[in-house]
Structure 1
Amino acid sequence: MAVDTADSVSAAGGLIFDSIRAGWIVDIYLESLNDERALYILGARSVVLPEVFEFEHEWPDAVFLSAAVHDRHRGVQRLVAGCIRRQISDIGVWGGSVPGLDAEAVGEHRLSTAARAFKPHALNAAGLPPQVTNVESFSGGRRR
């Protein structure tokens, strides 16, 4: 969950790419939809953040989000609180901290060679400098 395409690609583009390549179903929720070319390069599509997330039977295995989205969106706050309470989802946050999660706990995703090849193109399409690190870091750590 992110503010926009640039936010999601810059913070979690490698994780998005590698998760899709591994066969996971990856839903990208954005506050504002804009040019989706960057996400298309990573193999993803996005939708607008819903007011309410309904995961009765298929609770997410992992939730990664921008702290800014958490601060501004009540539905995201409820989803994260539910994940913390149920302790069945991995949670990672970028760009700040989220109440209820250990801000000192750091989770990392080491980008595959393929992700390191595709992410610069996605960053460029999002209007960002195409510089890629080998690791994407998230606070909050793992909960399950």
Structure 2
Amino acid sequence: MRYRLDVVAPTVVDAVTYAGGWIYDRVMAGWDVTVLVGGDEDVRPLTILGADTLELQSVLADWEGRPHPQTVAVAANLIDRDPRVLQHVRNALEHGGTEVTLWGERVPADLDSSVDSVEHHLSAAARAFKTKALAAAGESSAVEVSACETFRCGMMASVAADLVPAS
């Protein structure tokens, strides 16, 4: 059995900018990574990172029919935009067997106490591939790839040692 990571993002650029290095490193560690985004976007930047893609709205309509991933990562701003995303995040936190990871500036208040700050330190390859993915998305001049990505995580024991408490 392979581990699964589902990434829920409003746009391809958002997924690559905030979680691109982590996506790449998980793919290279043997995880099946699927990014759920709008259906009318160029997904080539996510392909560069090794991720599969699915159309977000169709997956949200049949979320319960999908096998539970070991980790679900969600852009925090999507939680405010779509009540289905909030409900799925709450269900995953209550389920306890799914690591819930959020990125973005504003975590909803009712989830804030359920998540702690964590970091993923990108491999050198992840930084290089994230740079290429950002360039493919037309974002190469605006964003410098840092050595780590910061998230909020809702499960104390990660199924992988790549997320560590942020200092």
- TM exceeding 0.5: yes
The aligned counterpart of 2:62 is 52
Q: In the TM superposition, what is the alpha-carbon distance from 1:90 to its structure 2 partner?
A: 1.3
Among 21, 24, 29, the residue aligned to 2:31? 24
Identity score, percent:
34
Question: Cα RMSD over matched residues?
Answer: 2.0
- 1:37 and 1:31 map into 2 onto residues whose CA distance is 13
Of the structure 1 ranges 114-123 and 134-143, higher mean CA displacement relative to structure 2 is found in: 134-143
TM-score w.r.t. the length of structure 1 is: 0.88
Which structure 2 segments of 5+ residues have no match?
A: 1-7, 158-167
> Relative to structure 1, is the Cα distance of residues 44 and 33 closer, same or farther in structure 2, using a 3 angstrom cutoff?
farther
The aligned counterpart of 1:75 is 84
Among 38, 43, 46, the residue aligned to 1:39? 46
Q: Which runs of 4+ in 1 moved over 4 A?
A: none
Alignment of 1:1-144 (within 5 A): 1-49=8-56, 50=59, 51-54=61-64, 58-95=67-104, 96-98=106-108, 99-102=110-113, 105-128=116-139, 129-144=142-157
Counterpart code for 1:86 = H
Counterpart code for 1:54 = E
Counterpart code for 1:134 = A
Q: In the TM superposition, what is the alpha-carbon distance from 1:132 to its structure 2 partner?
A: 0.4
- 1:109 and 1:8 map into 2 onto residues whose CA distance is 15
- 2:143 and 2:132 map into 1 onto residues whose CA distance is 7
- 2:65 and 2:23 map into 1 onto residues whose CA distance is 20
Q: In the TM superposition, what is the alpha-carbon distance from 1:45 to its structure 2 partner?
A: 2.6
Q: In the TM superposition, what is the alpha-carbon distance from 1:143 to its structure 2 partner?
A: 4.4
- 1:6 and 1:130 map into 2 onto residues whose CA distance is 11
TM-score w.r.t. the length of structure 2 is: 0.77
**Contact kept in structure 2, 1:111 and 1:135, CA below 8 Å:** yes
Of the structure 1 ranges 67-76 and 38-47, higher mean CA displacement relative to structure 2 is found in: 67-76
Q: In the TM superposition, what is the alpha-carbon distance from 1:102 to its structure 2 partner?
A: 2.9
